[in-house]
Amino acid sequence: MAARAATGAGGGGTLPLLDDLMPWSVRPLRTGRSWVTAPDAASLRARWDLLVRAEGAEQERLFRPTRSRTPLTPAAALPGMSTGTRAFARDPGPYPGPVRILHGPFDEQWLIPDHRLLDAARPELWRVADGYQLFAVEHGYVPQDSGPALSATTLLPDGHSPAGRPGRIRPLFRRPGGREPNLTPGLAALLTARYGVPVTAESVLAWTLAASLPSPAGPLVPLPADGALWAEGVELGRELLRLQLRGARGGERPRLPGGRRPYVRAAVPARPDGLRYDAGEEAVVLGEGRVSPVPVGAWEFRVSGVRMLELWVERRTATAEGLAAVGPRGWPRERSSELLELITLLALLDGLRPRQRALRDRLERSGTLTRDGLRSAGLIPVPAQARLPASVLDHREEGPEGQFALL
């Protein structure tokens, strides 16, 4: 299907944007300093302790101040976090337990959730992150890229893009507890009448994962004229969502069938000198280390034009400075386990691509609902209020210097 236009049931027109369907979005986090995130939680605690023990100019050097944050900058506590709010240099407070985040597509890492250390933490995201929330994360657009336009997670995403302009983060719900779906007013009713089945926020997200296309303006989401095609796409999207959630919310962790599961055939050295793919042996080679079998589809899986496996390894082996250099001396066993899971996930996602291509081919033949159709139905332009965060009045949050924060 063309990225910009589609044949609609009632004539031509442009495809709807995800922005037309899920209107509330948040910009990616901006940490301002790389040392606040790490692949392992222990490194973050060691970095915090070093920063707390340092004083004066040394603490400032380790902190890596920016215009938004210095050791003398107070900041409100992030929603749901019990952290210091006074200037770090005067009162660092207790170490906050790290939180699991999604650092760009498919890379689970840890973050110190202290607002004083983060240039732009996007508190509105933290306010709605709970056991009911799902986040759709747009990927940066790169021309000629065949990778997915977005992914989904239960973790707090930082929205980092491997390349290109970062996309937006779109929570599925506007309030905690899975309340108030982040859907354009009237969309669920319109699609329910169109397809003859109840349409929910979850089914819209599932369809979007299966059918969306990248574009410079953000993901395009063709909506089918046919209810049977909608049901097929939602089923496929739920499988994509299940895989990407990696066992969260009681689901099963991704697993390849026996005989195709990757194993560490030779231990990865403490500092692997290089990374390559042995196509003949279906092996990822990290220095003297060797992992196989690794399907070529997992190795070549790209987002925004960047190989995900290469990026994952690079982030864990690149030379760093200052606090960011504080980390494991070797290659922890847990890191190998995470690599095997990532290979499994990418292989399974790649295995669903033929079904996604077939779905898009059928969409192009059967016709779609265009932006003109949404406009005729009164759904767009989207009301301005739907693009703003909802008021969340049941959160008590501490402001800078311990003051009560009014929401």
133: confidence class by pLDDT, cuts 50, 70, 90: very high
Residue 316: predicted pLDDT: 95
Asked whether the beta carbons of 164 and 304 are under 8 A apart, the reply is yes
Q: How far apart are alpha carbons 163 and 186 in whole angstroms?
A: 35
Assigned token pair, 377: 């139905």
Q: How far apart are alpha carbons 149 and 154 in whole angstroms?
A: 18
Q: How far apart are alpha carbons 349 and 362 in whole angstroms?
A: 20
Q: Evaluate if residue 149 carries a pLDDT over 80.
A: yes
| pLDDT tens track for 150-190 | 999 999 999 998 887 888 999 999 999 999 999 999 999 99
Q: What angle do CA 66, 72, 77 make, to 5 degrees?
A: 90
251: confidence class by pLDDT, cuts 50, 70, 90: confident
In DSSP terms, which residues pair with 169 in a beta bridge? Answer: 26, 137
Average pLDDT, the chain: 92
Residue 401: predicted pLDDT: 56
Q: What angle do CA 298, 31, 34 make, to 5 degrees?
A: 65
Residue 257: predicted pLDDT: 87
Residue 250: predicted pLDDT: 87
Q: Evaluate if residue 5 carries a pLDDT over 60.
A: no
**367-389 residues labelled b (16+ CB within 10 A) or e (exposed):** bbbbbbbbeeeebbebeeeeeeb
| pLDDT tens track for 188-206 | 999 999 999 999 999 999 9
Residue 397: predicted pLDDT: 63
Asked whether the beta carbons of 349 and 301 are under 8 A apart, the reply is yes
| pLDDT tens track for 52-80 | 999 999 999 999 999 999 999 999 999 99
End-to-end CA distance of the chain: 44
Residue 366: predicted pLDDT: 86
393: confidence class by pLDDT, cuts 50, 70, 90: low
Residue 163: predicted pLDDT: 84
Residue 166: predicted pLDDT: 85
- Element housing 153 (H / E): strand 150-153
Closest CA to 48 of 321, 326, 329: 326
For residue 17, report the phi and psi dihedrals to the nearest 5 degrees.
-90, 155
Residue 405: predicted pLDDT: 47
Model pTM above 0.85: yes
392: confidence class by pLDDT, cuts 50, 70, 90: confident
Q: Residue 31: which residues within 8 A CB-CB, separation 6 or more?
A: 37, 111, 117, 118, 119, 121, 158
In 10 A of CB 247, how many CB atoms?
A: 13
2: confidence class by pLDDT, cuts 50, 70, 90: very low
Assigned token pair, 201: 């926020």
Q: Evaluate if residue 407 carries a pLDDT over 80.
A: no
Return the percentage of the chain with pLDDT > 70, whole number: 93
Largest CA-CA distance found in the chain, in angstroms, rounded: 69
Per DSSP (E only), the strands in 241-369 are 263-266, 275-278, 283-286, 289-292, 302-303, 306-307, 368-369
| pLDDT tens track for 218-230 | 999 999 998 999 9
Using DSSP, state whether 186 is helix, strand or coil: coil
